[in-house]
Structure 1
Amino acid sequence: MKKVAVILAGSGVFDGSEINEVVLTLLHLTKASASYQCFAPDKPQHHVLNHLTGATEASSRNVLQESARIARGEVQALTELQAEEFDALIIPGGFGVAKNLCDFALQGAAATLDTEVKRVCTEFAEQGKPAGYMCIAPALLPLVYPAGIKLTIGNDADTAAALQQMGAEHIECTVDDIVVDAEHKVVTTPAYMLAQSVAEADVGIGKLVTQVLAWS
C-alpha cells in the first residue's frame, strides 16, 4: 500500500487549509487504496479570521490543533515527518498555506518558508519522491525546487508573475486539469484558485492524486 504524507495549515480557507480540498484529497487517496498521515506545524497561526464576516479576530489559534479538526484528531506535528517513511507528499491549499507554511501572502516574491516546511519539502525533493501541490500551495515550490520548476495556480496574473519572479515557470491551467513537471515529479492543480463548486475542484484534485500515486 502506498503511503502519502499530507501537510495541513490549519482549518478554514481564509486562515488555514481549504477544508474541501483536504477532504477530497483524502477521499481520492482512500479510494485509490493508498494510506495517508496528516501533519501540521505546531505553532500559532499568523492570524485568525471570522469566516462569516471576514474580520480579523484578536484570539490566537494553533495550526496543529486547528488541523486536527479536519483530520479527526489524526494529525502529527510536522517535526515528526520523515520523507523516507513515505512514498509521496501532497499539500492542499487555503490561505493558511501562504500565511502559516510560508509568508507568500505577506511578502509575495520575497517570501520565505517555515523552517520545518522547508526541511520536509526539501527531503521529498532530494529523495526524488513525487509531490502534489494545489490551489495556492504551488507558491512553496520555487523555494524548494530549482529554477524553472513547472507549476500552476490557474490564471491569476499577479500571483503567476510573483511565482515567475521567484524562478518558477508558470503554466496557465483550467480548474479541471493539472500541470506536470515530470523531471521533478511535481504535479499542481488550481483547485479553489478557480473552482466555483466542490464538484469543479474535485476533478483536478482527482487527477493530481492519480498522478502522484502513479509515480509512487
Structure 2
Amino acid sequence: MAAVRALVAPRLVVASAFAPFPELLRPLSLYGLASSPRAAFHGSAPRPGARVALVLSGCGVYDGSEIHEASANVLTESARIARGKISDLAQLSAANHDAAIFPGGFGAAKNLSTFAVDGKDCRVNQDVERVLKEFHAAGKPIGLCCIAPVLAAKVLRGVEVTVGHEQEEGGKWPYAGTAEAIKALGAKHCVKGVTEAHVDQKNKVVTTPAFMCETALHHIHDGIGAMVKKVLELTGK
C-alpha cells in the first residue's frame, strides 16, 4: 500500500482546530500569499510502494480541504489530518516522494491560491507553486480533484485538466464556469463525468471533478478512487 504524507499550512491548522471563524473570514490579502505562508506535512509509517504527498489547505470544505475528498484519497490516513507529527512544507521534495495529490475544497481557492477572489488572474501560494513545478520537472505524477485543478492550470502552462462539465445542466454542475477560467489560464479543459478521471499523459497530471458535481457521495468516491489509481499507476510502483 502506498505511504502518504499530508501537507497543511500550520496557521490554518490552528485556525481550524481552535478558532475557525474570525481568522478565516479575513481578506485573502491578509494571508500574505506573496510572501508564502509556511506550510507543513506529517508522515505515515514507512510502507512498501509509492510515497505520495497529500496536500491539504485547512479543515472543512468552506475554509480548507473538503474532508470527504481528503479521506477518500487515503482512508487509512484520514485520522492524521488533525493529529500527527508536523514538519515544514519547505522540507517536501520530489526527490523523497513519488507523487503529490491535492484534494479540493474552498481552501484550494482561498488559501492555496487567490482563485476564489481573482479567478483567472489568481496567484498561487509560492510553496504550492514550487511543489507543482518540482514534481512536474521530475516527471512525477500529480493528482488534483474538485477545484484544485485550477492550481495546475495556473502553474503548469498548457496542462490538460477536468473539473467536470462545462454547462450547469440545471444545477447538476453548479461550478461549470470554472472550465472557462481554466481555458483563460492557458490550460485545456476536458469534459468528464464525476466518476471519471482525466489523465494528461504528457504532463502526468490526473484530475477528477469530485464535488464540482451535485451527486451522491459514492459517485464522488468512485471518481477520486479512479484518480488515485491512475496516479499510482503513473509512479510505476
With structure 1 as the length reference, what TM-score do the two structures score? Answer: 0.78
Matched ranges for 1:1-216 at <5 A = 1-27=49-75, 70-147=81-158, 149-155=159-165, 156-216=175-235
Deviations along 1:13-45, one digit per CA (max 9) or x if unpaired, are: 011000000001012xx6xxxxx7x9xxxxxxx
Query: Structure 2: how far apart are the matches of 1:24 and 1:127?
Result: 26
| CA positional deviation for 1:196 | 2.3
Deviations along 1:143-176, one digit per CA (max 9) or x if unpaired, are: 22122x1111112442111110000111111110
Q: Which runs of 4+ in 1 moved over 4 A?
A: none
Measured on the aligned residues, the alpha-carbon RMSD in Å equals 1.8
Match of 2:224, as an amino acid? I
- Asked if 2 retains the 8 angstrom alpha-carbon contact of 1:4 and 1:86, the reply is yes
Deviations along 1:163-202, one digit per CA (max 9) or x if unpaired, are: 1000011111111001110001111000111152321111
- Asked if 2 retains the 8 angstrom alpha-carbon contact of 1:93 and 1:134, the reply is yes
Query: Structure 2: how far apart are the matches of 1:125 and 1:161?
Result: 24
Query: Structure 1: how far apart are the matches of 2:69 and 2:112?
Result: 16
Structure 2 residues not aligned, in runs of 5+: 1-48, 166-174
Query: Structure 2: how far apart are the matches of 1:208 and 1:74?
Result: 27
Query: Structure 2: how far apart are the matches of 1:202 and 1:154?
Result: 15
Match of 1:160, as an amino acid? A
Structure 1 residues not aligned, in runs of 5+: 31-35, 39-67
| CA positional deviation for 1:71 | 4.4
- Asked if 2 retains the 8 angstrom alpha-carbon contact of 1:101 and 1:113, the reply is yes
Query: Structure 2: how far apart are the matches of 1:71 and 1:184?
Result: 32
* 1:96 alignment partner, SS class: helix
Query: Structure 1: how far apart are the matches of 2:145 and 2:81?
Result: 17
**Per chain length, whose mean CA-contact separation is higher, i.e. which structure has more relative contact order (CA < 8 Å, sep 6+)?**
1
- Asked if 2 retains the 8 angstrom alpha-carbon contact of 1:16 and 1:95, the reply is yes
With structure 2 as the length reference, what TM-score do the two structures score? Answer: 0.71
Query: Structure 1: how far apart are the matches of 2:181 and 2:205?
Result: 19
* 2:64 alignment partner, SS class: coil
| CA positional deviation for 1:113 | 0.6
- Count of residue pairs brought into register by the alignment: 178
* 2:90 alignment partner, SS class: helix
Query: Structure 1: how far apart are the matches of 2:164 and 2:134?
Result: 26
Identity %: 44
Deviations along 1:86-116, one digit per CA (max 9) or x if unpaired, are: 0001000000100100111110000111011
Query: Structure 2: how far apart are the matches of 1:157 and 1:5?
Result: 28
Query: Structure 2: how far apart are the matches of 1:74 and 1:197?
Result: 34
Query: Structure 1: how far apart are the matches of 2:176 and 2:104?
Result: 18
